Amino acid sequence: MSFDLKNIISIRDFSKSDINYILNLANELEPIANSKQVCHDLDGKLLGVMFYEPSTRTRLSFETAMKRLGGDVIGFNQKQGTSIQKGEVLYDTAQIISQYSDAIVLRHDMEGAARFISNNVDVPVINAGDGAGQHPTQTLLDLYTIHKNMGGINNIKIALVGDLKYGRTVHSLVYALAMYNVEMIFIAPAELQMPPEIINDLEKMNCKFRMSKTLYDNIDDIDIIYMTRIQKERFPDAQEYNKVKGEYTLSAKNIEDSDVIVMHPLPRVDEISFDVDKLPNAMYFKQAFNGVPVRMALLDSLIEK
C-alpha cells in the first residue's frame, strides 16, 4: 500500500485505501504515543503551525505527534505577537513559514484557506479546520476511534447531534462515513440541520441517512452518538444562538443501560454532563488521545525524509 496525497485539505480527497493506509500506520505508531516515547522518523524536521483560531487538541496533538516522531515545531497559536497584526496577509505569512519548515498545519476562519495555501507553497499543507468547512484530520481520528471500538467501520448506525450546520467536524465525517455501509441520523433543530448541499451530495452517493429533532427516542437503536457543541462563535446573531443553545444534553441516566458509544470532537460546553465521563460508554477523551497516533501517521506519510 502507498499514500500519494501531497496535502491534507478535505476528506473528499481521500480514497478508502488512503484512509486504510493512515489508520493502519496510526495503529503501528500508537505504542510510541501510548508509552510517551520518541522515535526518529522525522529527526531534524520542522513543522510550522499557523493557528488563526483557538485550539487545544488539534494544535497540541500535532505538536505532540511531531515531537514523538523526533521532529520539532515552530509557529503561532494567535495573531497577537505576529506581523499579522501589522497587516501581513495569509499568503505572505504562509510563504515565510514554508521557507522555515517541512510542512504547514493551518487553522483559519476562512473556508478554503488551506486549499488556497496548498496551491501556493512548496511544502505539504494540512487543514486543521477552515471555518465551517472541513476538519479532515479530526475525521481520520474519528474513524480510527470508530474502527477500534466497533472492529471496523461497516454496519454501524451513528447519530450526529447538535450543530450540523456550522460544524466542520461533522461536515468532514459524513463524507467519510458515506464511503462505508453506515446509517446516519442527523439530530438537530431545523435551524442547525446539515446544509442542503451536503444532503444533496449524500443523496448522490446513495448514502443511508435520516433527519430527526429528538435524541432520546433514538438512543436504543444506535451504536454511536457523536455529540457536537453548538458553536456560539459561528452565529451571525446572538439571539439565534440563544434560541438553540442547550437544545441537546446527554447525561448518565440517558445511556446507563445502553452500550452506545459516546463520541465528541470536543471542546464540550453543556451537551455532555460530567456524570457520563465515568461510564464505559464515554469515548471522547480516548478519541482526543487518538489524535496523536493519527497525526503521527499523517506527518510520517507527508514529510519527505
Distance CA 215, CA 171 (A): 19
Shorter beta-carbon distance to ligand CP: residue 141 or 184: 141
Shorter beta-carbon distance to ligand CP: residue 254 or 287: 287
Q: What values do phi and psi take at 109, rounded to 5?
A: -80, -10
Catalytic residue among 40, 86, 278, 305: 86
Among 194, 266, 276, 292, binds ligand CP (CB under 6 A): 266
Shorter beta-carbon distance to ligand CP: residue 7 or 58: 58
Q: Cell numbers at residue 299, please?
A: 506527518
Edge-to-edge strand ranges of the sheet holding 46-51: 72-76, 46-51, 103-108, 125-130
Helix or strand (DSSP H, E) at 176: helix 168-177
Position 145 contacts ligand CP (CB under 6 A)? no
* Least distance CB 172 / ligand CP (angstroms): 11
Which residues are CB-neighbours of 24 under 8 A, at least 6 positions away? 1
Q: For residue 15, give the amino acid letter.
A: S
Is 171 catalytic? The answer is no
* Least distance CB 139 / ligand CP (angstroms): 11
Helix or strand (DSSP H, E) at 197: helix 196-204
* Least distance CB 291 / ligand CP (angstroms): 8
Piece in contact with ligand CP (CB under 6 A), picked from 49-57, 71-79, 113-121, 216-224? 49-57
Position 56 contacts ligand CP (CB under 6 A)? yes
* Least distance CB 193 / ligand CP (angstroms): 21
Position 55 contacts ligand CP (CB under 6 A)? yes
Distance CA 268, CA 59 (A): 17
Is 278 catalytic? The answer is no
Is 213 catalytic? The answer is no
Catalytic residue among 59, 68, 135, 165: 135
Per DSSP, the residues of 110-172 read STTHHHHHHTT-SS-EEEEEETTS--HHHHHHHHHHHHHHHSSSSSEEEEEES-TTT-HHHHH
Is 57 catalytic? The answer is yes
* Least distance CB 194 / ligand CP (angstroms): 19
Is 268 catalytic? The answer is no
Shorter beta-carbon distance to ligand CP: residue 207 or 265: 265
Position 64 contacts ligand CP (CB under 6 A)? no
Are residues 184 and 174 in contact, defined by beta-carbon separation less than 8 angstroms?
Answer: yes
Q: Given phi > 0 = left and psi -120 to 50 = alpha, else beta, which region is 131?
A: left
Among 229, 265, 284, 292, binds ligand CP (CB under 6 A): 265
Among 20, 57, 84, 201, binds ligand CP (CB under 6 A): 57
Piece in contact with ligand CP (CB under 6 A), picked from 3-11, 20-28, 51-59, 89-97? 51-59
Position 299 contacts ligand CP (CB under 6 A)? no
Are residues 247 and 231 in contact, defined by beta-carbon separation less than 8 angstroms?
Answer: no
Distance CA 11, CA 173 (A): 8
Position 134 contacts ligand CP (CB under 6 A)? no
Distance CA 66, CA 298 (A): 10
Position 138 contacts ligand CP (CB under 6 A)? yes
**Which residues in this chain contact ligand CP in the complex, by CB under 6 A?**
55-58, 129, 138, 265-267
Residues taking part in catalysis: 57-58, 86, 107, 135
